[in-house]
Chain A
Amino acid sequence: MKVAIVDCGLACAYGWSVDSCWNALLDKRSAIKTINRFPVSNFFSSKAAFIEDLDVKSHESLVMQMLKKVLSGKQKEFNKKTKIILASTLGEIDFLEKAVLGNKNDSEKSSLRFLANKVKKLCAVEKEVMTVSSACISSSVALAYAGALINDGKADSVLVVACDSVSEFIYSGFSSFMALDKVGARPFDKNRMGLTIGEAAGFMLLMNLDKAKKEKRNILGFLNGWGLTADANHMTGPSRDGSGLAQAIKISLQSAKLKPSDIGSICAHGTGTVYNDSMEMKAFKSVFAHNPIATYSVKGGTGHTMAAAGLLEAIISLRSLKEQIVPATVNLHEVDEEAKGWVSKEAVKIESKYTVSTNAGVGGVNSALVLSV
C-alpha cells in the first residue's frame, strides 16, 4: 500500500512553521547564535540553534512547550484511532536537570514514557503511544516503521511526532566529546570542526493512499522506501568507508523499487563533523557511482536537532521536491574536496521526483528514506 504524507508541522530555531524554516534556508540565514539558556564559559563552544520563545523556568518542559504549539488545533486532523510514534533521545531531560540541581528525587519524570502519555493526551487519541529512540536517526526510524505498518496494512494512519531540546545535559556531553564547532556547524566545509546542537519539534501524518483519497486529504508527498543499518564499528565514530550508510541507502532504494539513477537530490545528515561528512560523501559516491547529485545539509542553519533531525529533514526534503530547488548548504564557505560537484553554497534547481534523506547516529546507526511528490 502506498504511504502518503498528508500533513506536517515544525518548530525549530528558525520559527514556528515549515515556511519559516524553508524561507530561511533559501535566504542562507543561520539560526545558530550564542546560548543564553545556561552558562557556557566552560564549554568548547557557546553556540546553539535554540528557540528564544521557550521559557526555561516554566513548569512545562522545553519539548512540551514546543509540541503544544506545533500540535495546537491539529487534533481534528487525526482520528482517535490514529497510531502515534514518538521519537526522542532525551525528551524532558530538563526535568532531570532540575531534579539533580535541586537535590530532588523525581528524575523519573524525565522518562520518555511520561512524555509519551502527554503526547497521547495532547493528540486526543485512544491508542497508547509507542516511543522510538536511536540517537540521531530516531525520527527516521519512526517514519520507516510508520511506513512499514501502513505498507503492510497494519495501520491506515500513523502520526510521527519528534522532539529534542537544547539542554545543558546534552551540550555538556557533546562538549566533552570535543564535537562542537566553536563558530557554528559548517557542513561539508573544508574547515569544518564539529556540529552545533539545535532543537526542534514536529509531526508528520502518514496515511494509506486510499484512505487519504477517500478523506480528500491534501497529499504533500509519499514515503516510498526506507533502509536502517548499523556500522558495528564504534560508538562515537562512523565507519570511515561509509559502507553502513551506503547499505542503508541501497535497502531504501530496493524498498522503493527504484534505481540510483532515479534519485535527483540528497538531504544529507551533514553535521559538520570531520568524520561524518566525509563518511557520507563516500557512501553517496559508492551508491550513486560517482555521478554527482545535488546534495545539501540544513544543519548549518537549524543546528543538529538530534532525534528531530530525520523528521525536520524529511519535511524540508518534500518542500525541496515541491519547489524543485535544493537549498544552499547554510554556513558553507569553502566546499571540501570530497564534496565538490555535490554540495553547493548556492541553491540549485533540480528536475526530479525522488529524493533521499540520510541520517547517522551514536552507536553507528544509519538511516535512509526515499521520498517523492
Chain B
Amino acid sequence: MIKILGSVKIDKNKYKTLKRKFSGCFNDLNSLYTDLKTKNVFKSSVENFGRFDNLSKICSCAVGLALFDAKIDYKSKNFYREEIGLISTNKDGSLQANIDYFKDYVVNGRKLARGNLFIYTLPSSAIGESSIHFGIKGPVFYAGFSKNNFKELLDVAKQLIIQNQAKLMVVIEFDQKSAHCVVVRK
C-alpha cells in the first residue's frame, strides 16, 4: 500500500490540490508560474523557466503544487533530497519538442542545431529540469505504458519504495495542457 501525501490536477487552465484544497485559474503557463511564485509554491525562481519547453513548464508547476499540497518545503534543511524520486509518463514522450528541434535545424539549412531546443528532446527532460529546481536526488526516469498510465506508474513508484531506492516518490502524468501529480510514500 502507498499513501498519497499531496496531489494536484491541472486541466483547462485551472489547478486544484487535493489535501489543502488550493486552487486557481491561469491564462498560460508563464502566468501560472508567476502566480505560484507569489503564492510561495515556488520558494525561489526556477532558473531558465522562460526557456523551458511547455512540458517542462507544466511539469515544474505540477510538481511544485503537489509538494505544496503535501506540505513539503523543498528548501528546508529537513527535506532529504536523496530520499525522494520523480517519475513521469505520458502518451508521446517529447514528440513535440523533437519536431520543433528538427524543424528548426532543417529550416536553418541543416548546419546549425540549437542546443537549447535539443535539451528537451528526451522523454525525461521535463522531470530533469524539475529534479534540478526542487533538489530531487532519488530515481528520476520516464516510463511509458499502453494504457492505465497513471496506475501503472504508481505501481512503479511503489516498487522503488519497496526496494529502498527512495522513501517518497513524486509521480506525474502530463502533457502540454494538463497534469496529474501526486507525492506518495509507503
| A residues in contact (CB < 8 Å) with B | 39, 42, 89-90, 93, 96-97, 100-101, 107-108, 110-113, 116-117, 128-135, 137-138, 141, 144-145, 148-149, 151-152, 154, 168-169, 172-173, 175-177, 226-236, 244, 247, 251, 254-255, 362-365
Contact of B124 among A129, A144, A365 (CB under 8 A): A365
Are A228 and B138 in contact (CB-based, < 8 A)? Answer: yes
Are A232 and B136 in contact (CB-based, < 8 A)? Answer: yes
Interface residue stretch chosen among B20-28, B64-72, B157-165: B157-165
Are A112 and B93 in contact (CB-based, < 8 A)? Answer: yes
B6 surroundings in chain A (CB, below 8 A): none
Are B132 and A362 in contact (CB-based, < 8 A)? Answer: no
Are B121 and A117 in contact (CB-based, < 8 A)? Answer: no
- Find the residue from B101, B115, B152, B164 having the highest chain A CB count within 10 A: B115
A226 surroundings in chain B (CB, below 8 A): 163, 165
Given contacts A112-B123, A113-B92, A363-B131, contact A172 B113 (CB under 8 A): yes
A168 surroundings in chain B (CB, below 8 A): 110
Are A173 and B125 in contact (CB-based, < 8 A)? Answer: no
Given contacts A234-B132, A364-B132, contact A141 B121 (CB under 8 A): no
Closest approach, in angstroms, between the C-beta of A359 and any C-beta of chain B? 12
Are B119 and A235 in contact (CB-based, < 8 A)? Answer: yes
Taken together as a complex, chains A and B put the C-alpha atoms of A190 and B98 apart, in Å, by: 35
Interface status of B175 (Cβ within 8 A of chain A): no
Are B123 and A141 in contact (CB-based, < 8 A)? Answer: no
B164 surroundings in chain A (CB, below 8 A): 251, 254-255
Closest approach, in angstroms, between the C-beta of A319 and any C-beta of chain B? 27
* 6 nearest CB pairs, A to B: A363-B128, A134-B141, A173-B118, A131-B144, A228-B139, A172-B113
Are B118 and A96 in contact (CB-based, < 8 A)? Answer: no
Taken together as a complex, chains A and B put the C-alpha atoms of A117 and B124 apart, in Å, by: 20
A130 surroundings in chain B (CB, below 8 A): 143-145, 152
Are A152 and B159 in contact (CB-based, < 8 A)? Answer: yes
Are A134 and B142 in contact (CB-based, < 8 A)? Answer: yes
Taken together as a complex, chains A and B put the C-alpha atoms of A227 and B82 apart, in Å, by: 12
Interface status of B81 (Cβ within 8 A of chain A): yes
Are B140 and A230 in contact (CB-based, < 8 A)? Answer: yes
Are A152 and B162 in contact (CB-based, < 8 A)? Answer: yes
- Find the residue from B119, B134, B141, B159 having the highest chain A CB count within 10 A: B141
B 95-115 binary contact with A (CB < 8 Å = 1; else 0): 100110111011000111111
B143 surroundings in chain A (CB, below 8 A): 130-133
Are B140 and A365 in contact (CB-based, < 8 A)? Answer: yes
- Find the residue from B82, B85, B114, B135 having the highest chain A CB count within 10 A: B82
Are A116 and B141 in contact (CB-based, < 8 A)? Answer: no
- Can you identify 13 A-B contacts, CB atoms within 8 angstroms? A96-B99, A107-B99, A108-B92, A111-B93, A116-B144, A133-B124, A151-B163, A169-B98, A176-B113, A233-B132, A362-B119, A362-B124, A363-B127
Contact of B112 among A42, A169, A177 (CB under 8 A): A42
Are A141 and B141 in contact (CB-based, < 8 A)? Answer: yes
Taken together as a complex, chains A and B put the C-alpha atoms of A129 and B147 apart, in Å, by: 10
Taken together as a complex, chains A and B put the C-alpha atoms of A152 and B161 apart, in Å, by: 12
Residue of A whose beta carbon sits closest to that of B128: A363
Given contacts A141-B139, A228-B141, A232-B135, contact A135 B98 (CB under 8 A): no
Interface status of B53 (Cβ within 8 A of chain A): no
A97 surroundings in chain B (CB, below 8 A): 102
Interface status of B2 (Cβ within 8 A of chain A): no
Known pairs A97-B102, A138-B141, A229-B137; list 20 more (Cβ under 8 Å). Answer: A89-B122, A107-B95, A111-B92, A112-B93, A113-B144, A128-B147, A130-B143, A132-B142, A133-B141, A148-B159, A152-B162, A169-B121, A230-B85, A230-B140, A232-B135, A251-B165, A362-B125, A363-B122, A363-B140, A364-B131
Are A90 and B81 in contact (CB-based, < 8 A)? Answer: no
Closest approach, in angstroms, between the C-beta of B155 and any C-beta of chain A? 8
A364 surroundings in chain B (CB, below 8 A): 128, 131-132
- Find the residue from A93, A144, A232, A251 having the highest chain B CB count within 10 A: A232
Are A176 and B115 in contact (CB-based, < 8 A)? Answer: yes
Taken together as a complex, chains A and B put the C-alpha atoms of A349 and B82 apart, in Å, by: 36
Contact of A232 among B81, B99, B121 (CB under 8 A): B81
B86 surroundings in chain A (CB, below 8 A): 230
B75 surroundings in chain A (CB, below 8 A): none
Taken together as a complex, chains A and B put the C-alpha atoms of A101 and B156 apart, in Å, by: 38
Interface status of B129 (Cβ within 8 A of chain A): yes
Interface status of B91 (Cβ within 8 A of chain A): yes
Are A172 and B129 in contact (CB-based, < 8 A)? Answer: no
Residue of B whose beta carbon sits closest to that of A137: B141
Taken together as a complex, chains A and B put the C-alpha atoms of A130 and B111 apart, in Å, by: 36
Are B112 and A149 in contact (CB-based, < 8 A)? Answer: no
Are A173 and B139 in contact (CB-based, < 8 A)? Answer: no
Are A133 and B144 in contact (CB-based, < 8 A)? Answer: yes
A128 surroundings in chain B (CB, below 8 A): 145-147
Closest approach, in angstroms, between the C-beta of A254 and any C-beta of chain B? 7
Closest approach, in angstroms, between the C-beta of B56 and any C-beta of chain A? 10
Are B123 and A133 in contact (CB-based, < 8 A)? Answer: yes
